[in-house]
Amino acid sequence: MANTYTKDFKIRAVRLSRKDDMTCKEVAKDLGMSEQSLYRWRKQYREHGDDAFPGRGNSAPDRDEEKAELERENAKLRQERDILKKAMSIFADKE
């Protein structure tokens, strides 16, 4: 069964994927969704703007908004962790 995402979640995912510090692949992985869906949403949003994603999926907007915020924070923390791991390996090699 396919996941159903709210319009707000899709728009936030699209905006997150357009930032320079993360690739679509990273965003999709961090949000637990397919990269193909994210690319499809980006295309729909580019073509239709705020009128994109009509239909179902607005049952719990506050909860979805909170989830999207936590997912963004999680993605940022993962990225920071990866940077620290790389820095640690560089410093370990110099000793």
With a cut of 60, say whether residue 76 has pLDDT above it.
yes
Q: Would you state the pLDDT for residue 83?
A: 93
- Residue 91 pLDDT more than 90? no
pLDDT tens sequence across 12-66: 899 999 887 888 898 998 888 999 999 999 999 999 988 888 876 544 556 777 8
Using pLDDT thresholds of 50, 70 and 90, give the confidence band for residue 8.
confident
Amino acid 62: pLDDT: 64
Domain assignment present for residue 1? The answer is: no
20 domain-assigned: yes
Cα–Cα dist 7/13, whole Å: 10
Which alpha helices (H) appear in 1-95, and where do they start and end? Answer: 7-17, 24-31, 35-48, 61-94
**pLDDT greater than 60 at residue 95:** yes
| Cβ 12 vs Cβ 61: under 8 Å | no
For residue 80, tell me if it sits in a domain. Answer: yes
Q: Which structural domain, as residue segments, surrounds residue 30?
A: 7-94
Residue linked to tokens 């791991």: 85
Cα–Cα separations (whole angstroms), residue 53 to 23, 49, 64, 80, 93: 22, 9, 15, 32, 50
> Is 2 part of any domain?
no
| Residue 29 lies inside a defined structural domain of this protein | yes
Q: Assess contact for 25 and 75: CB atoms under 8 A.
A: no
Count structural domains, the chain. Answer: 1
pLDDT score at 74: 92
